Chain A
Amino acid sequence: MDWASILGNGLRSGFGPQAASYALLAIGLNMHYGFTGLLNFGQVGFMLVGAYGVGISVATFGWSMWVGVLVGILGAIVLALIVGIPTLRLRADYFAVTTIAVAEVLRLIVRSGSAEEVTGGPFGLQSIADEFHALNPIPNGTYGIGGLSYSSGQLWSLLVTWGVALVATVVVILLMRSPWGRVIKAIREDEEVARALGKGVFSYKLQSLVIGGVIGALGGVMFAIAGQTVNADTYQPQVTFFAYTVLILGGAATRFGPLVGAVLFWFLFSSVSAALRQAANAEYLPGFMTTGGATGAVVLATVGLALVLLMVFRPQGLMGRRQDVITLTS
């Protein structure tokens, strides 16, 4: 077993652009779930809208990528309004089921053959971020220390994506310090109390949904830009569940939880995958665990188990406070 390469794999993934995109998803979810108490199970839908906003604008209509970013953000706002206006008045669990259904409907639509002219259907769209990579100021080459190294393109993507994630974090911190944020947290604690104090609970929830959705869409935008491609199969419902794991790992309703959670989640995810692959190659594992796809299955099962154990034994995550754990007992 080559522990250095396993560690390097984990670190590269933990600080990589993908982890940063998941951090953005989790920051958005933190807005919804951590601060407002909205059980949004369709965060991947916002991610999809952001990514396809860029992809369709560039690859299908030939617009500038920056227009595409705007399209993605506007799309997320529209999606939040469409989902939120009818369902935020309903009980929290209806909202949860609706959001997961909407996200899956979006995925099925962009994936369908009948949408191929616009979305590329099952094949997706490629070469959507040449403009972004043309701006790369970092000279060609490999950068890093030891196992942790990136090409100049990856480095550029990850720096910008983590930059966006940091900005989003600061925005959320400022928002939550404002009077608006206090109302939002009051809604999480007890909706009726907030309503009794004359706050328009529905409108606050909708605003929270829009803000968190836009942050999630930025995650999709950066994910698509870093990978230069959009493909419907990336946006499976389990992406939302991963984002929840990231959020709960770091600590829901904390300021830096999503960032820490994303690094840790992807570090563990990739290093465990690498370790399992090596163990399989070295024949340390029983036969059924070495067939194609088995390592992936083991890692994903472990994610599930980790989510259960986290929720049972440390629901506040690494950085959270016990009293901020969202209980909602209606």
Chain B
Amino acid sequence: MGAKRVLFGQRIRLLLSPRDARHAAGHRYRAWSVVLGLVIVLTTMLAPAAVAVETPSPGDDATQGGEQATEQGVTGTLRDDESEPVEGVTIVVTDASGAEVAEAETDSSGQWEAMVPTGGTYTVELDTGTLPEGVELRDPENNPLEVQVPEGRTRPVIFQLGEGEADRAQAQAIARAVANGLKFGLIIAMAGVGLSLIFGTTGLINFAHGELVALGAMLTWYFNVDDPQIQLIGAAAIGIALTAAFGAGLERGIFLPLRRRRFGLFQLVIITIGISLLIRHLLLLFFGGSPRTYSDYVGQEALHFGPVSLTPRDIVIMCLSVLILVAFATMLQRSRTGKAIRAVADNPALASASGIDVDRVTLVVWTLGAALAASGGVLFGSAVAVDWFMGFRLLLLMFAAVILGGIGTAYGAMAGGLVIGLVTELSVLWFPSELKYMWALLALIVVLLVRPRGILGQRERIG
């Protein structure tokens, strides 16, 4: 149990850090502002302006930094957010009556100094028009600054340059959270479709569904990294195929015979729990407790789309998820098998009476559901990491997604998955990230209170 606790913590950190780490590859400049922005947002919960910039308060009797001058004045050094000096920026000092008393320009080392005739309150304004391209004030509200200048002393004045951190960090954080939420939600949706359809066709809540996710991801890791070291796409194909076969085997080897022996649903549900414990700990036994990553598509440079930065891998993950979900939906909508699946999910008895082979449809659902779960696992493993406990962690989110969308329907699971993904990732903006899964589960509970059939569910499904 101790190991699990560590893993849980690691996963949360992993969900946050690799993206930042990826930035570091070629975009140190951007990476810093991103990291800083994230830290600011997390620590201040959307009030970053309060701590983002240390504003010298008027009357602050600072003595350090300034040169000892015979006369009084204001001085400072302008550096951008990579600590490079910024040259040729004009700074204008006006007195209390609004009359301009001094003007200064930064030299090659970024330093500037403006002398004023007497001590008193002055307004120091940085002429933003003279800033070089790509450099701006980090906190535009702190320009102009009111400064108290003591008699006979030079008073340091700090203008922080960089990006407009206060607004931009928040916008970026939200955009990033939305992008992550979509990515995560699509993966949950894909993995959850099978859970929902297995429920729809057999009434069984499959607690071992998370283990299908983990199994697919782990097998893929094995073929990709450990033994034959196949490229990720090939390894994923093998992993997914094996997991699909395993799902089919579970249905044919365990659940179909037990249904024929008139086992009740409660018994079957408890059997899925046993299977889940078994597979999960076999994964732990054979693959160990530490999180693993695939050997392909790591350390990519991020591409920037306005406020959002995504690695090509993230984009491919999202596109693939959409593609797979659309293909699956088309199959459900158009093909003969798809129609049969929907018919059985809607009303097994009626479907059986109209000549549909329910056992065959159930087998197809288990096979496809396991394949989709494994694909979700591979994509999740590619986006974050693979570990033995990932299945159970995702299972609760899949439950949330499936019930949110309306259990028993394929499209409901997709809609629910997106909502859950967005809820978990957006919650990080306002709340500690260790609680992010809690919000998904709370969303599940709230939906059960307000609209138990889910977003797309039908009324009579509630029972």
Using CB atoms and an 8 Å cutoff, list the residues of chain A in contact with chain B.
33, 37, 39, 86-87, 90-94, 96-98, 100-102, 104-105, 108-109, 111-114, 122, 233-234, 236-238, 241, 244, 248, 288-289, 291, 293-294, 297-298, 300-301, 303-308, 311-312, 315, 325-330
Contact = CB atoms under 8 A, between A and B. Distances in A.
Interface of B: 1-5, 9, 199, 203, 205, 254, 258, 262-267, 269-271, 273-282, 284-286, 288-289, 392, 396, 399-400, 403, 407, 432, 434-435, 437-438, 441-442, 444-445, 448-449, 452, 462-463
A298 B286 contact: no
Contacts of A327: 262-267
A297 B281 contact: yes
Contact of A104 (B265, B273, B441): B441
B438 A97 contact: no
B4 to A, nearest CB: 7
B258 A297 contact: no
Contacts of A248: 270
B452 A312 contact: no
A233 B4 contact: yes
B249 to A, nearest CB: 14
Given A307-B277, A330-B463, 11 more contacts: A87-B448, A90-B452, A105-B438, A105-B441, A112-B438, A122-B9, A233-B5, A248-B270, A297-B284, A298-B285, A311-B270
13 contacts: A91-B463, A93-B407, A98-B448, A104-B437, A122-B9, A238-B277, A293-B3, A301-B280, A315-B267, A325-B264, A325-B267, A327-B263, A328-B264
Chain A interface, >50% SS class: helix
Contacts, number: 160
A306 B277 CA distance: 10
A248 B267 CA distance: 10
Chain B interface, >50% SS class: helix
A96 B205 contact: yes
A102 B284 contact: no
A82 to B, nearest CB: 9
A86 B403 CA distance: 15
Contacts of A304: 273-281
A288 B285 contact: yes
Closest 9 pairs between A and B when the two form their complex, measured CB to CB: A327-B264, A304-B277, A307-B274, A304-B278, A91-B463, A308-B274, A301-B281, A297-B285, A297-B284
Given A306-B274, A328-B265, A330-B265, A289 B285 contact: yes
A94 B270 contact: no
A187 to B, nearest CB: 14
A244 B264 contact: no
A311 B265 contact: no
A117 to B, nearest CB: 14
A248 to B, nearest CB: 7
A94 B449 CA distance: 11
Contact of A90 (B265, B396, B463): B463
A274 to B, nearest CB: 18
Contact of B432 (A104, A114, A312): A114
A31 B1 CA distance: 28
Contacts of B288: 291
B278 A308 contact: yes
B277 A300 contact: yes
Contacts of B286: 288
A108 B199 CA distance: 27
Given A300-B281, A301-B282, A312 B258 contact: yes
A97 B210 CA distance: 14
B462 A91 contact: yes
A149 B432 CA distance: 46
Quick one: which of A122, A238, A297 has the most chain B CB within 10 A?
A: A297
Contact of A108 (B3, B263, B285, B434): B434
Given A105-B441, A297-B281, A308-B278, A97 B403 contact: yes
A239 to B, nearest CB: 10
A114 B432 CA distance: 8
A291 B284 CA distance: 11
A288 B287 CA distance: 9
B427 to A, nearest CB: 12
Contacts of A114: 432, 435
A114 B435 CA distance: 9
B227 to A, nearest CB: 14
A237 B392 contact: yes
Contact of B448 (A86, A236, A298, A307): A86
Contacts of A112: 432, 434-435, 438
